[in-house]
Amino acid sequence: MRILIIGAGIVGSTLAERLSNAGHSVTIIDKDEDKITKVGSMVDAEALVKDATSPEVYEELDIESYDVIVAVTDRDEVNLFTAAIARLYNVENIYVRIRNPQTSRILDILGVKGVVPEPQLVANVFYSMIEGMHTVVNLIPTLTGDFHLVSVAVRPTSIARGKMIRDLVRDERFPRGVKILAVYDGENLIDPESAPVLDVGHTVIALVHRDSLREFSNLF
């Protein structure tokens, strides 16, 4: 896919690196020349010094040619502007980082569904670490429409305890509409394919369809 990332800060540059490593064609822009120079030297991506608040920039970039637009600057107004421009050009896949809940409401009016509310996400991660021992916790309830990004801790009585991820997903009780993204062992996020046998102290992070939340919870 062709992916345009607005903002070359820590979030944008990290995302650019991961997407590029996954084989996608990535363009990342920022008006800060130092950030662009840094990301350009580290990531196999097209890194350009551009002001995302200038409408002409999106014509120069031929925004309609991109499959995905991601706005992750540290300013809601810039991210909102980018989302509005992307919608104007009928881009379907738009993902936006926000800090102010009011911005989320505006994006909803625009029909942008890929909204990541940063304060809510951070708070929910901490809440998950505390309360996830007892229940499934929604990290971003409105991540992708009918899907929820959730975390749940492995308990002593969990069906999942003692299983590798690959064995768990083959279990007949494992519901459809679930994609396990990572296992947190208390220090590191581990890729599911290389995760150890699940045990107490592990937290599983997954993308779960709303109709499968109860079944998924029952595994833990």
CATH number of the domain encompassing residue 31: 3.40.50.720
Tens digit of pLDDT for each residue in 44-75? 999 999 999 999 999 999 999 999 999 999 89
Residue 85 pLDDT more than 90? yes
pLDDT of residue 114: 81
Residue after which a domain boundary falls, among 63, 85, 112: 112
What the block records as the tokens of 150 is 């959730």
Structural domains in the chain (count): 2
Cα–Cα distance list, 195 to 190, 204, 208 (Å): 6, 10, 19
Tens digit of pLDDT for each residue in 157-174? 999 999 999 999 999 999
Coil, helix or strand at residue 166: helix
Residue after which a domain boundary falls, among 85, 112, 139: 112
Task: Answer yes or no: do 165 and 93 share one domain.
Answer: no
Task: Answer yes or no: do 67 and 158 share one domain.
Answer: no
In the sheet that holds 2-6, the strands lie side by side as: 46-49, 25-30, 2-6, 68-71, 93-98, 114-117
Compute CA 38 distance to the chain's CA centroid, rounded to the nearest angstrom.
Answer: 23
Task: Answer yes or no: do 92 and 176 share one domain.
Answer: no
Residue after which a domain boundary falls, among 87, 112, 137: 112
Domain that residue 33 falls in: 2-112
| Angstrom distance (rounded) from CA 220 to CA 217 | 6
Tens digit of pLDDT for each residue in 19-29? 999 899 999 99
Tens digit of pLDDT for each residue in 91-141? 989 999 888 877 877 888 888 878 877 777 777 667 666 665 556 666 665
Backbone angles phi, psi at 123, to 5 degrees: -60, -40
pLDDT of residue 140: 60
Task: Answer yes or no: do 139 and 106 share one domain.
Answer: no
Task: Answer yes or no: do 9 and 106 share one domain.
Answer: yes
Task: Answer yes or no: do 203 and 103 share one domain.
Answer: no
